[in-house]
């Protein structure tokens, strides 16, 4: 089949095809099929390349995760999970306090960032438009805010760390503490939450808003009762992504949370998150195996988190589309 | 227009979107407890016209209106838009139930107006669904999502939702254009029964529909600058059998539009 086709490719065109005539029609068809062989070849080469790219990317990922898991799992046992790190050059002890600290940090960061982030997104999507028309100065400020959010979303986390160190740790005197780390972490994830919430709000059909307003609801009632619930799956996805970001982040907490492996007893306590623990074990001790073990747990948590996002957003979507 | 009492009076009314004039000098009296149909070719400003009655046009940033528009003699622009929309309900072209249960869809209006009493809410929901001829189909599934209904049921749900706030006027913007013929007929029957208690203004591009459901018909057309204007207005029977204007006759016989 393929040789037949390729021989047609080399065959010179007989004569310009005549439009409409039976003869002309057949010649056009023959020319197309000659061309087709070359186009199919291009397609196959492209397929092979794309497939290889996808394979290599996935293979690299699986290799990294697999390596960490295999290396880490050997060290993981109940004792490792339930004893606190002991410090020292050999990295004695387990990781219990880092799990708790990570949990505190996540809750605190999300609790600070979500109300501001979602509030800012609601303002930008639902209300800013009205003000922009009426007041030139405010519209200028809003433009600056929008650009600022765009830029902040791309700023490296250590910059937020430095800012947090200068403002919360030093200037406000919070010291290395959960409070400093939570506030700095909130600054880090704020742009993410604002942008995902904005997108979720923009995706709510205008017909929902019109339907509500046409019933005599105020704009705020419309936003709270119709727009926000419809945007909730998207907003939740943004929040959960931010949770992942807080769990994974190291640099920003290194300069705001300190590194104490003791259990935090309050907002003003210093602490050590899991990612920070991995970093410190790998960099400052000889306990590379324990760094791997902590990393394996970290990866497992992030995988579970992703499964939860997928599941909940699918459930939400199904409920929105009307299955009970 | 005989001795019909006027519900909505429109005097020399124009609507602009920025520099573009969408409606030019409309003057029309909409009678109470009657069905008034607005017909005309696409883009002649029919939707803009009925969206003036509940000031939905206000939501479009660049729009502004000129001239007078009154309900029971009161200037619409002197009534707060939120209060006005409680008195003038609307059903949209595409069914737009909220992603909530059937019950919550219908109860939405009364709730935003402050009704919390569960027994009363349940009464209102049942009555509204009955009035919208949907009750028998959904009475066992009130907890089901409104989006799970068929298109025709969704549109009746939206009508029930509008009825639940007990408006005086109901605006319908091509309420059946997204529905199949059978669902369309059911909606039309429903509209006829509603006129007893409500003043209804319905936009349609389906002339048979206008002829079937309405008592009065207004024919809009657009000028060369695309501004919509009123060509002819009168009892539906007269418009369809003996129109005064040649243009109206051409349109209803399908010669253009």
DSSP symbols for A49-112:
HHHHHHHHHHHHHHHHHHHHHHHHHTT--HHHHHSPEEETTTTEE--HHHHHHHHHHHHHHHHH
Least Cα separation, residue A218 to chain B (angstroms): 6
Confirm or reject CATH 1.10.150.120 for domain B6-252, answering yes or no: no
A217–B82 CB contact, under 8 Å: yes
Q: What part of B 61-100 touches A (C-beta under 8 Å)?
A: 61, 82-87, 89-90, 92, 94, 96-100
Instruction: Summarize pLDDT for A1-37 with one digit per residue, the tens.
Output: 344 444 444 444 444 444 444 444 455 555 566 789 9
Q: Which residues of A touch B84 (CB under 8 A)?
A: 216
B217, B252 Cβ separation under 8 angstroms: no
Mean pLDDT over residues B22-32, rounded?
Answer: 94
Least Cα separation, residue A310 to chain B (angstroms): 20
What does CATH list as the number for A80-321? 1.10.3720.10
Which of A214, A217, A322 is closest, CB to CB, to B147? A322
B191, B202 Cβ separation under 8 angstroms: yes
B98–A221 CB contact, under 8 Å: no
**Six-digit token string for A312:** 């909940």
Mean pLDDT over residues B94-113, rounded?
Answer: 95
Mean pLDDT over residues B213-239, rounded?
Answer: 93
Which of A129, A216, A225 is closest, CB to CB, to B165? A216
Phi, psi of A292 (to 5 degrees): -65, -45
Mean pLDDT of chain B: 92
B90–A321 CB contact, under 8 Å: no
All structural domains of chain B with their residue ranges: 6-252
Q: Which residues of A touch B124 (CB under 8 A)?
A: none
Which of A130, A216, A230 is closest, CB to CB, to B99? A230
Model pTM above 0.90? no
Specify the 3-state DSSP secondary structure of B101: strand
A321 → chain B, closest CA residue: B147
| Cβ within 8 Å of residue B136, ≥6 positions away | none
Flag whether residue B114 sits within 8 Å of chain A, measured between CB atoms.
Answer: no
pLDDT at position B183: 87
B56 → chain A, closest CA residue: A214
Mean pLDDT over residues B160-186, rounded?
Answer: 92
Least Cα separation, residue A197 to chain B (angstroms): 18
- pLDDT tops 90 at residue B177: no
Mean pLDDT over residues B90-105, rounded?
Answer: 95
Flag whether residue B163 sits within 8 Å of chain A, measured between CB atoms.
Answer: no
B101, B142 Cβ separation under 8 angstroms: yes
Q: Which residue numbers in chain A have pLDDT < 70?
A: 1-33, 132, 319-324
Q: What part of B 38-67 touches A (C-beta under 8 Å)?
A: 54, 56, 59, 61
Interface contacts (A, B; CB < 8 Å): 88
Q: Which residues of A touch B146 (CB under 8 A)?
A: 322
CA B228 to each of CA B13, B20, B24, B62: distance values in angstroms, whole numbers, following the listed order? 11, 11, 6, 18
Q: Which residues of A touch B94 (CB under 8 A)?
A: 207
Specify the 3-state DSSP secondary structure of B1: coil
Disruptive mutation site among B17, B89, B99, B105 for chain A (greatest number of A CBs within 10 Å): B99
A320 → chain B, closest CA residue: B99
DSSP at A266: S
- pLDDT tops 60 at residue B212: yes
Instruction: Summarize pLDDT for B183-197 with one digit per residue, the tens.
Output: 899 899 999 999 999
Chain A positions contacting chain B at CB under 8 Å are: 129-130, 133, 205, 207-208, 210-218, 221, 225-226, 229-230, 319-324
pLDDT at position A3: 41
A229–B96 CB contact, under 8 Å: no
CA A225 to each of CA A231, A232, B12, B120, B122: distance values in angstroms, whole numbers, following the listed order? 11, 11, 38, 20, 19
B89–A214 CB contact, under 8 Å: yes
pLDDT at position A11: 45
B147–A210 CB contact, under 8 Å: no
A215–B108 CB contact, under 8 Å: yes
Q: Which residues of A touch B82 (CB under 8 A)?
A: 216-218
The residue ranking higher by pLDDT, A314 or B28, is B28
B145 → chain A, closest CA residue: A322
| Cβ within 8 Å of residue A279, ≥6 positions away | A250, A254
All structural domains of chain A with their residue ranges: 2-61, 80-321
ipTM rounded to 2 decimals? 0.92
């Amino acid at each position: 089949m393929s040789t037949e086709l390729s021989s047609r490719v080399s065959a010179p065109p007989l004569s310009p095809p005549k439009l409409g005539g039976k003869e002309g029609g057949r010649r056009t068809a023959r020319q197309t099929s000659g061309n087709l062989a070359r186009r199919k070849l291009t397609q196959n080469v492209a397929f092979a390349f794309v497939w290889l790219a996808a394979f290599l990317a996935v293979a690299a990922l699986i290799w990294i995760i697999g390596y960490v898991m295999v290396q880490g799992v050997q060290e993981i046992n109940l004792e490792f999970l339930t004893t606190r790190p002991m410090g020292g050059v050999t990295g004695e002890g387990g990781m219990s306090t880092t799990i708790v600290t990570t949990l505190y940090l996540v809750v605190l960061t999300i609790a600070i960032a979500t109300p501001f982030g979602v509030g800012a997104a609601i303002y930008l999507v639902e209300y800013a438009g009205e003000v922009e028309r009426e007041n030139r100065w405010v519209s200028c400020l809003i433009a600056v805010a929008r650009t600022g959010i765009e830029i902040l979303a791309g700023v490296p986390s250590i910059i937020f760390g430095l800012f947090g160190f200068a403002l919360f740790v030093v200037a406000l005197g919070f010291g290395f503490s959960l409070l400093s780390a939570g506030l700095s972490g909130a600054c880090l994830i704020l742009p993410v939450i604002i942008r995902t919430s904005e997108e979720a709000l923009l995706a709510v059909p205008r017909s929902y808003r019109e339907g509500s307003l046409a019933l005599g609801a105020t704009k705020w009632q419309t936003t709270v009762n119709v727009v926000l619930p419809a945007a909730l799956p998207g907003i939740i996805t943004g929040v959960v992504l931010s949770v992942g970001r807080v769990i994974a982040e190291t640099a920003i907490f290194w300069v705001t949370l300190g590194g104490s492996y003791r259990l935090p007893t309050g907002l003003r306590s210093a602490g050590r998150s899991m990612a920070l623990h991995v970093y410190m074990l790998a960099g400052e001790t000889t306990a590379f195996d324990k760094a791997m073990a902590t990393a394996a747990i970290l990866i497992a948590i992030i995988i579970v988190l992703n499964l939860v996002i997928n599941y909940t957003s699918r459930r939400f979507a199904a409920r929105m589309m009307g299955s009970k | 227009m005989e001795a019909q009492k006027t519900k909505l009076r429109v005097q020399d009314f124009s609507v602009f979107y920025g520099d573009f004039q969408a409606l030019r000098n409309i003057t029309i009296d909409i009678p109470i407890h009657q069905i008034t149909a607005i017909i005309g070719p696409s883009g002649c400003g029919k939707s803009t016209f009925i969206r003036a009655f509940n000031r939905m046009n206000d939501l479009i940033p660049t729009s502004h209106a000129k001239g007078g528009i009154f309900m029971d003699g009161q200037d619409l622009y002197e009534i707060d838009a939120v209060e006005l929309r409680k008195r003038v309900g609307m059903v949209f072209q595409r069914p737009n139930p909220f992603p909530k249960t059937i019950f919550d869809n219908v109860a939405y209006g009364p709730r935003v107006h402050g009704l919390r009493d569960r027994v009363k809410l349940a009464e209102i929901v049942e009555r509204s669904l009955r009035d919208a001829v949907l009750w028998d189909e959904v009475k066992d599934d009130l907890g089901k999502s409104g989006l799970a209904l068929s298109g025709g049921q969704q549109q009746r749900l939206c009508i029930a939702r509008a009825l639940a706030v007990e408006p005086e006027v109901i605006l319908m913007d091509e309420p059946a254009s997204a529905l199949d013929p059978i669902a369309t007929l059911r909606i039309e029957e429903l509209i006829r029964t509603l006129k007893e208690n409500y003043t209804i203004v319905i936009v349609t591009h389906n002339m048979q529909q206008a002829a079937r459901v309405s008592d009065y018909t207004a024919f809009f057309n657009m000028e060369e600058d695309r501004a919509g204007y009123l060509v002819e207005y009168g009892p539906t029977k007269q418009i369809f059998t003996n129109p005064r204007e040649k243009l109206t006759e051409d349109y209803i016989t399908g010669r253009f539009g």
